[in-house]
Amino acid sequence: MQNEKMKGRSAVLAVMLIAAIAGALMQTSLGTALPTLMKAFDIDLATAQQASTWFLLVNGMMVPLSAYLARRIKTKTLHLVAYFLLLAGILTSMWTPENADAWWLFLAGRILAAMAVGIMLPLSQIVVLNMYGKSERGAAMGMLGLVIGMSPAVGPTLTGWILDKNHELLGLTLSDSWRSMFVIPLLILLVAIVLTPFFMKNVVPNKKMALDIPSVFLSTVGFGLFLWGFTNVATDGWTAFGSVILPIVLGALILLAFVWRQLKLPLPFLDARVFAKKNFTIPTIGLLLTMMAMFGVEMMLPTYLQNVRGMTPLDSGLTLMWGALFMGFLSPVAGGLYNKVGIKKLAFVGFSMLSLGTLPYLFLTAETPTVLISVLYAVRMAGIALTMMPLTTAAMAALPDEQNADGTAANNTLRQVSASIVVTILTSIVQNIVNTKRPSHAFKISDPLQYADKVMNASLDGFRVAFLISLGIALLGIVLTFWIQGQKEETAC
């Protein structure tokens, strides 16, 4: 009987991992494609970056709802709904006309995809927490970490390979058009859709519970305004009252009202009481720092490699591939180490590696060897592998099983919010520095070589500041480890 149960849950995990690959590719593949999208739609970096920031924004808005949906809707049904929503998002972005006026349609597809991923990934964690005991969760969560960790490697590299030249895949021609980067996630998703009716099981216990409409409103509007304000920083600047300051402040106030309401409800939409547990809150903060440090460099490096170094999308993807593959390899290993050495030591080593791998990026030039960039990126990603899923597992281990859905939703919401904020802030900083230090157009005519040199130096200055902020975040992670308790899970006999 135990063997049958093992086979059943292994098949469920396999289907979720396949779907998670498609979702993760949709989240990470655009980094390499941003320069291509800028040319195709005739837009600047800040506008192109909206494809990532809006994805993270909507993803963060959806995650709180995932806890309710997981309890209310059957696991198999909810997975299928999320998969078809992702399918709609992929097709919408894929067939957007190439002009600046149609950019909103591309973003609409990204929003649909973000809604789907905002359900899929938290739901996958909830399912794992319900299928596996506490002594087994480290390895199972490590497998999810493998998918999340591999996507920064496979996504940008795969996109670069597609954009570099024409290819054939299953009889389909993948041209150098940006549209082709959606084909492979689409095919992977279709496999998950076909397998789900046969292998997915209704794992999460369901119960009838009314949807608290005021909580949904407060959550959606609060997160939406808060993150939308940060999204506008790149184009409008920090002093824009109507589009930046006002929505951030209003969003924060509405979110405070949301939290207050959750503390008063007998059956909260999202139980904010999980943060009353120190062993949940501190690892969750560490996880936020990990996500911010990761995205702070991950979203900047492809643009640096292509716009400053003149690399092709494929070459920039290959430069970063080995580090992300290393992260993918270490993620399951980190799950095992979590059970053996505990989260405190693991997090300290991880954040230290993240800091050491980021420090040399402050001194990048237009001639920095790509081998050095790859090695440093590998060190960073190894540090992220040692912190991301172990911190998630440690946070969830502090909660009773009945709070798994709330803990997962809270954990994932803050992850997406933090990632969205750091990407927006760093993009705005880089864009503002470039705009401030860019020489006049008249100088371009009088001395084009000096003009090009100054433009490159302006871009480098912007990237260095972004990397400095990422280093500061990693150093904060080291400090945080001193407050993490050194508990570790007992290995099952």
pLDDT at 194: 94
With b for 16 or more beta-carbon neighbours within 10 A and e for fewer, the 263-301 pattern comes to eeeeebbbbbebeebebbbbbbbbbbbbbbbbbbbbbbb
* C-alpha to C-alpha distance for 380 and 293, rounded to whole angstroms: 9
Q: Which residues pair with 169 in a beta bridge?
A: 172
pLDDT at 203: 82
Q: Which residues pair with 168 in a beta bridge?
A: 173
pLDDT at 226: 84
- 8 Å CB contact between 331 and 20: no
- Hey, what are 25's tokens? 């590719």
* C-alpha to C-alpha distance for 415 and 63, rounded to whole angstroms: 10
- Hey, what are 382's tokens? 């190894």
* C-alpha to C-alpha distance for 63 and 117, rounded to whole angstroms: 9
* C-alpha to C-alpha distance for 279 and 297, rounded to whole angstroms: 28
Q: Output Rg (C-alpha) for the chain, integer angstroms.
A: 22
**Residues, the chain, total?**
493
- Hey, what are 28's tokens? 């990470």
Residues contacting residue 6 through CB under 8 Å, at least 6 positions apart: none
pLDDT in tens, the chain (493 residues): 333 344 578 888 888 888 988 888 887 677 677 777 888 888 877 778 778 777 877 877 777 777 788 888 888 999 999 999 999 999 999 888 888 888 999 999 999 998 998 888 888 888 887 887 766 766 677 677 667 656 655 666 677 667 766 555 544 455 557 788 888 889 999 999 999 998 888 888 877 777 788 888 888 888 788 878 877 776 777 788 888 899 999 999 999 998 899 888 887 777 788 888 888 999 999 999 998 888 778 777 877 888 788 887 778 777 877 787 777 778 778 877 887 888 888 999 999 999 999 999 999 888 889 899 999 998 998 898 889 878 888 888 888 877 777 787 778 778 777 877 787 788 778 877 877 777 666 666 666 677 677 778 788 888 888 899 999 999 999 999 998 875 544 433 3
pLDDT at 81: 93
pLDDT at 490: 41
* C-alpha to C-alpha distance for 290 and 296, rounded to whole angstroms: 10
If one counts every other C-beta atom within 10 angstroms of the C-beta of residue 199, the result is 18
pLDDT at 5: 41
pTM: 0.72
Q: With CA atoms as reference, report the closest residue to 28 among 423, 363, 426, 382.
A: 423
Work out the angle between the directed axes of helices 103-131 and 404-437 (0-180°, nearest 10).
150
